[in-house]
Amino acid sequence: MNDILQGLISAGWLIITFDPDLIEIVLRSLQVTVGAVVVSSVIGLPLGAWLAVNRFRFRRFVIALMNALMGLPPVVVGLIVYLFLSRSGPLGVLNLLFTPSAMVIAQTIIITPLIASIAHQAIRELWAEYHDLLISVSTSHRQRICTLLWDGRRALLTASLAGFGRAIGEVGAILIVGGNIDHVTRVLTTAIALETSKGNFSLALALGFVLIALAILINATVHSLSQTERSGRW
Amino acid sequence: MIPRLLLASALSLCVASATLADDIKMAVTTSFHNSGLADVLLPEIKADLDLDVHLVVVGTGQALRLGRAGDVDAILVHAKSAEEKFVSEGYGTHRTPFMYNDFVLIGPADDPAHIAQTQSAAEALASIQSTRAPFVSRGDDSGTHKKELSLWFGAGLIPDDFATTWYQAAGAGMGASLNTASAMNAYIMSDRASWLKFGNKGDLVLLFAGDPVLFNQYAYIPVNPATHPHVKSDLTAKLETWLLSARAKSLINEYRLNGEQLFIYNAP
């Protein structure tokens, strides 16, 4: 109990004093996670819409596979990405291991299935509504997907934020591919893991509270900017 | 909009990963990093050599693996036989032992196995085994774990035969294992640095130290450029020269944690 209180106090102190190390790892956490969310959204949202609109032989299988991949174990993703990016691996020449880019790659793999699945679910319902209209004005596949993505943008925002939520709190994969190098690849979650291993529970908790506050702040900001809760709109 | 964001984030990533000064990556063991010695040495290395040493902090096993794959330029570990194998297989150019620290036995303050009165590490462990007092083992094949196993063997005991009612393999790093021991009020072997820095001691105290078998030799091994041509061998050689200098010697010998000397410099 004492540790929790101490953690809250230290968290407040770190934030009030603009601790430079804290600012650095917060910015790096955001850089990595926002990078991964942007890439995943660019892949996942159109993929979800495409799966909703198109009928093909293995569609059900692809959807089931995508849903299953939502539960990808991050440590395994980290290990596989490590083996690819390792100097002895097939992509070793790119020299990406132990860089923030490697962390973005790992997180992108983890959250793309999540974003695509949620997007697919949302678009499928919208497609049921729009189906007759879009067919009757003889739109192309591309136009249909674009219309659905635009009109479903609020639900898709939730998909991206869910991806953000999973990525910002993830530690297993980025610890392996990033290496938790001080001032290079250390982010909030890997710093928390490190401090816990040192038995510095109050500092670890303080960083944890900062992480939670950051997640709330980002979500609140995105929602207020997109005005999802504006009166008269549901 | 989205492509532009993508480009911006890609650019910011490139900027973030580019550094101006020379830099190398070195895999080090958690026990070395936990000691805090790195926080003293790295700024000095930066000042003297204009060299940024990026530490990848992992267990000895993983450090050797990273060196084998060529993912780091040098390694700093403590597992002599594994290091010699690493060098003889051509992954490292040579092994430079330059300092040591020691392992200590930690346990509950009331010391149910009375190891504080024993004369050797083997005797202390035999006493823990005969009283079946709870003992936490790293159980993760790290350098520290291998050392602990060798001490049990040295006492004529086989850890594989121990009952899990008292001998618990945590399968975790030093810090996590210390957390486990603290929660269970159990005995555990730790390197001195990790113990001194550890913040969640609970009822645990240092009970036994000083037996020469508990000494723990660290060695620096540059990754072999003949095996991995991309490693920065000129920079690892520069770092090695610095580690063998009088300056490194005095910094290492003078390093104190809670008033205790942790490392003893012993480069040839």
Give the minimum alpha-carbon distance from A35 to chain B in angstroms, rounded to a whole number.
6
In chain A, what residues touch B180 (CB-CB under 8 Å)? none
Q: What is the pLDDT along chain B (268 residues), one digit of tens a residue?
A: 445 555 555 555 544 444 457 899 999 988 888 888 999 999 999 999 999 999 999 888 889 999 999 999 999 998 888 999 999 999 999 999 999 999 999 999 999 999 999 999 999 999 999 999 999 999 887 888 889 999 999 999 999 889 888 999 988 888 889 999 998 999 999 999 889 888 888 899 999 999 999 998 999 999 999 999 999 999 999 999 999 999 999 999 999 988 888 899 998 7
- What's the CA gap between B197 and B189, in Å, rounded? 15
Of B25, B68, B200, the CB nearest to A199: B200
CATH number at residue B28: 3.40.190.10
Q: Which residues of A touch B58 (CB under 8 A)?
A: 179
* Structural domain range at position B162: 102-214
Angstrom distance (rounded) from CA B198 to CA A180: 19
The answer to whether residue B15 sits within a structural domain is: no
Query: Does the ipTM surpass 0.85?
Result: no
Binned at pLDDT 50, 70 and 90, residue A5 comes out as confident
Query: Quick check: A98 and B182 CB within 8 A?
Result: no
How far from B18 is each of A56, A101, B222, CA to CA, in Å? 45, 12, 23
B2 lies in some domain: no
- Residues of chain A contacting B229 with CB distance shorter than 8 Å: none
Domain co-membership, B124 together with B200: yes
B10 part of a folded domain: no
Of A32, A20, A77, A12, nearest in space to A168 by CA = A32
Chain-chain contact of A38 with B56 (C-beta, under 8 angstroms): no
Same domain for B94 and B54, yes or no, is yes
Q: What is the dihedral of CA B188, B190, B194, B196, to 10 degrees?
A: 70
* B29 part of a folded domain: yes
Q: How far is A67 from chain B (nearest CA, A)?
A: 25
CATH classification of the domain holding A30:
1.10.3720.10
B109 and B209 belong to one structural domain: yes
* Residues B15, B21, B26, B29, CA torsion sign: negative
Does a structural domain hold residue A116? yes
Distance from the B6 Cα atom to the nearest Cα atom in chain A, whole angstroms: 7
Cβ contacts of A197 on chain B, cutoff 8 Å: 30, 173-176, 179
| B233 lies in some domain | yes
Is residue A1 a part of any domain in this protein? no
Q: Are residue B115 and residue B128 in the same domain, yes or no?
A: yes
Instruction: Domain count for chain B, please give it.
Output: 2
Residue B1 lies in a domain: no
Flag whether A106 is in a domain: yes
- Residue B150 and residue B79 share a domain: no
Q: Are residues B230 and B209 in the same domain?
A: no
Residue that is last in its domain, among B179, B197, B214:
B214
- pTM, full prediction: 0.81
Is residue B149 a part of any domain in this protein?
A: yes
Give the number of other CB atoms < 10 A from CB of residue B162: 17
Q: Indicate the number of domains in chain A.
A: 1
Burial of A208 (0-12, 13-18, 19+ CB in 10 A): buried
In a domain, A12, yes or no: no
A100 closest CB neighbour out of B13, B200, B228: B13
Q: What is the predicted pLDDT for the residue at A223? A: 85
- Same domain for B259 and B179, yes or no, is no
Structural domain of A217: 20-223
DSSP, residue by residue, A47-64? HHHHHHH---TTHHHHHH
Q: Is A7 on the interface with B (CB under 8 A)?
A: no
Domain shared by B96 and B222, yes or no: yes
Q: Are residues B76 and B204 in the same domain?
A: no
The distance of A65 to chain B (nearest Cα, Å) reads 27
- Report if residue A42 sits inside a domain: yes
Select the residue of A87, A179, A184 nearest B230 (Cβ to Cβ). A87
Residue B4 lies in a domain: no
